[in-house]
Chain A
Amino acid sequence: MNLELLLEPLQYDFMTRALLVSALVGTVCAVLSCFVILKGWSLMGDAVSHAVLPGVVISYLLGLPFVIGAFAFGLLSVSAIGFIQSRSRVKEDTVIGVVFTALFALGLVMISKISSEVHLSHILFGDVLGIGDSELWQTVIAGAIALIVTLLLRKDLLLYVFDPTHARSIGLNTGVLNYVLLTMLALTIVTALQTVGVILVVAMLITPGATAYLLTDKFSKMLWIAVACGILSAVIGTYGSYFLDGATGACIVLVQSILFVLAFIFAPKHGQIARRRQQMAERADELGEGGPPTAPRPVLTRVRTSSKGQASD
């Protein structure tokens, strides 16, 4: 009955484009998210995504592709964080907070100074339904680079994230690997900017990985599950936003959050239900309910030592 209504969005060119772009963005972000959550860089992702705002505004003023300004400010924020942290006693999360709010505020001031032509909401919340040709290509190129580099280097990146000491001890350059991962993080954020916007990008960068982490104990599977979540939520979210007439980024993020909650509850091993069930089973075993009769326990009595002091030392 509602089939016609459901298929309606696909008649439009802008809609198919939006679906393809958000699926690509969902894929790239999902791959990165696996590394981000294992490395504990969620806050770093949030920071970089906010810090790119002035870069976007400057690109707009100079007539440059937005990707270039955003990427430059992404790298700038990462370097600033590293620089300040290595030269002061302030903790890392504090430094991250200081740097990214400073850059985000700078971006907001710039926007308020330069006329109303720039739609604040498009940068902050994304607008994949209205994506232009130029933005489309920028997104595709940045996304392709981030995806290919990360996948080719995934073994070394994974080793670096898991055990940097061992990575160094087999002669890998961990300093370079650290910067490669940070650069790919910045590039991925740039890729997702047009789709979900500055404020919600971080969800794309952690939620698919977190969902996958609950579902498996194998990294290779985790990558595939994250990508599946990323694409699924990108497609459903974009599709749904057609009927809501906007807020595409928010719709995508909402679907991702729902997938996370489902995994949190129903995951086969690490989900709430499975954990509860396992606890019960173990307890039942220990209490001997229904289990095989336990052998009589040897009774230990206290032994007095003849030469005192033997047990000391």
Chain B
Amino acid sequence: MSQNTVIALDVKDVSVAYGGGRLSLRQANLEVRGGSVCGLVGMNGAGKSTLFKTVMGFLPPLRGTVQVFGQPVIRAQKAGLIAYVPQSEDVDWNFPVSVREVVMMGRQGKMNWLRRPNAVDHTMVDESLERVGMNAFAERQIGELSGGQRKRAFLARALAQDGRLLLLDEPFGGVDVGTSEAIINLMGELRREGRAMLVSTHDLGTLETFCDEVALIADRTVLLYGPTAEVLTAENLAATFGGRSPLHAPAAKKLEARP
């Protein structure tokens, strides 16, 4: 596959800080190839969300570079190559917009300067709503949705963007089993369409079902990345999760250890 030779995301030696002196990401390196899915795994506070914000250009790197399909991030964003779904949406849920209008916002960067949607935009919005199973809720005001439905709505907006690289920060956070299965299926489809993805998650159990590669992140830097099977060893996970691997530690032992 020729697509796999393209580098979708190239993070080189990146360090960032949130204003203060302490670095929140230390010399992180990561490569995601075109058409592949990379899982980003690490404990809370390891720096996953920070890495996403850095890739999006919200936090300017103090050192190092980020390139998306060989271009600077801003250029890639203007070209509509990247779609980003943050860990939690920081929006006013009483805002007078419907689900359909939110999804249409994913198309806005591609419209002419008057921002009038054309036939393609409408089709894309309908398809995206369909793919996340939110057709029936399209005309609802966004506050009138459950947590999982809100997550789906914003996922639909990212789909409508039709980006070549999708950045999903904890898409399984706070959703039920049904929704998380639906998201995994969706990621499979997107991968077959040749889109690259970077997906952070806590759920080690499902990693192997949808990831080509895994990056381990701990103590504010990327420890290691590579093919899923090679990376997910007991030893590596132990290093990531501070001493013991949540995947490999035998359950019986864990119980005995308790008083």
Partners in one complex: yes
- Give the interface of A toward B (CB within 8 A): 38, 152, 155-156, 159, 162-163, 165-166, 168-172, 213, 216-219, 222, 309, 313
A-B contact pairs, 14 of them (CB 8 A): A38-B92, A156-B115, A162-B95, A163-B89, A165-B58, A165-B86, A166-B105, A168-B77, A169-B83, A169-B84, A170-B161, A219-B96, A222-B96, A309-B255
Chain A residues, Cβ within 8 Å of B101: 219
| A168–B58 touching, CB < 8 Å | yes
Chain B residues, Cβ within 8 Å of A165: 58, 86, 90
Chain A residues, Cβ within 8 Å of B79: 171
| B56–A171 touching, CB < 8 Å | no
| B108–A155 touching, CB < 8 Å | yes
Q: Report Cα–Cα, A220/B218, bound state, in Å.
A: 47
Interface centre among A152, A166, A168, A216 (most CB of B within 10 A): A166
B229 within 8 A of A: no
| B105–A216 touching, CB < 8 Å | no
Interchain CB contact (< 8 A) of B91 among A155, A162, A222: A162
Q: Report Cα–Cα, A165/B49, bound state, in Å.
A: 14
Interchain CB contact (< 8 A) of A171 among B91, B95, B106, B109: B109
| A216–B96 touching, CB < 8 Å | yes
The 7 closest A-B pairs by CB, nearest first: A170-B109, A155-B115, A171-B78, A171-B77, A217-B141, A169-B84, A219-B96
| A156–B108 touching, CB < 8 Å | yes
Q: Report Cα–Cα, A218/B97, bound state, in Å.
A: 6
| B109–A168 touching, CB < 8 Å | no
| B105–A169 touching, CB < 8 Å | no
Q: Report Cα–Cα, A169/B84, bound state, in Å.
A: 7
| A219–B108 touching, CB < 8 Å | no
Question: Could you tell me the distance in whole angstroms from the C-beta of A181 to the nearest C-beta in chain B?
Answer: 16
Q: Report Cα–Cα, A168/B74, bound state, in Å.
A: 9
Which chain A residue shows the least CB distance to B113? A152
Question: Could you tell me the distance in whole angstroms from the C-beta of A64 to the nearest C-beta in chain B?
Answer: 34
Q: Report Cα–Cα, A172/B109, bound state, in Å.
A: 8
Chain B residues, Cβ within 8 Å of A156: 108, 115
Q: Report Cα–Cα, A38/B86, bound state, in Å.
A: 22
Additional A-B contact list (17), CB under 8 Å, known A159-B105, A162-B91, A219-B96: A38-B96, A155-B108, A156-B115, A163-B91, A165-B86, A165-B90, A166-B105, A166-B157, A168-B77, A169-B56, A169-B83, A170-B106, A170-B108, A216-B96, A218-B98, A219-B97, A309-B255
Chain A residues, Cβ within 8 Å of B254: 313
Q: Report Cα–Cα, A283/B83, bound state, in Å.
A: 42
Question: Could you tell me the distance in whole angstroms from the C-beta of A282 to the nearest C-beta in chain B?
Answer: 14
Interface string of B84-121 (1 = CB under 8 A from A): 10100111100111100100011011000011000000
Interface centre among A155, A168, A218 (most CB of B within 10 A): A155
- Give the interface of B toward A (CB within 8 A): 56-58, 74, 77-80, 82-84, 86, 89-92, 95-98, 101, 105-106, 108-109, 114-115, 141, 157, 161, 254-255, 258
Q: Report Cα–Cα, A216/B161, bound state, in Å.
A: 28
Question: Could you tell me the distance in whole angstroms from the C-beta of A303 to the nearest C-beta in chain B?
Answer: 20
Interface centre among B57, B96, B114, B157 (most CB of A within 10 A): B96
Q: Report Cα–Cα, A287/B254, bound state, in Å.
A: 47
Chain A residues, Cβ within 8 Å of B95: 38, 162
Interface centre among B80, B83, B109, B141 (most CB of A within 10 A): B109
Chain B residues, Cβ within 8 Å of A155: 108, 114-115
Which chain B residue shows the least CB distance to A38? B95
Question: Could you tell me the distance in whole angstroms from the C-beta of A312 to the nearest C-beta in chain B?
Answer: 8
Which chain A residue shows the least CB distance to B141? A217
Interchain CB contact (< 8 A) of B80 among A170, A222, A309: A170
- Are A159 and B108 CB-contacts (below 8 A) given A165-B86, A169-B77? yes
Q: Report Cα–Cα, A165/B96, bound state, in Å.
A: 18
| A218–B96 touching, CB < 8 Å | yes
Q: Report Cα–Cα, A166/B79, bound state, in Å.
A: 15
Q: Report Cα–Cα, A270/B258, bound state, in Å.
A: 54
Question: Could you tell me the distance in whole angstroms from the C-beta of A243 to the nearest C-beta in chain B?
Answer: 37
Chain B residues, Cβ within 8 Å of A216: 96
Q: Report Cα–Cα, A124/B128, bound state, in Å.
A: 53
Q: Report Cα–Cα, A216/B90, bound state, in Å.
A: 22
Question: Could you tell me the distance in whole angstroms from the C-beta of A304 to the nearest C-beta in chain B?
Answer: 18
Chain A residues, Cβ within 8 Å of B58: 165, 168
Question: Could you tell me the distance in whole angstroms from the C-beta of A146 to the nearest C-beta in chain B?
Answer: 18
| A217–B96 touching, CB < 8 Å | yes
Interchain CB contact (< 8 A) of B92 among A162, A217, A222: A162
- Are A213 and B82 CB-contacts (below 8 A) given A155-B115, A170-B77, A170-B108? no
Q: Report Cα–Cα, A307/B245, bound state, in Å.
A: 23
Chain B residues, Cβ within 8 Å of A172: 109
| B258–A309 touching, CB < 8 Å | yes
Q: Report Cα–Cα, A126/B47, bound state, in Å.
A: 56
Which chain B residue shows the least CB distance to A172? B109
Which chain A residue shows the least CB distance to B144? A217
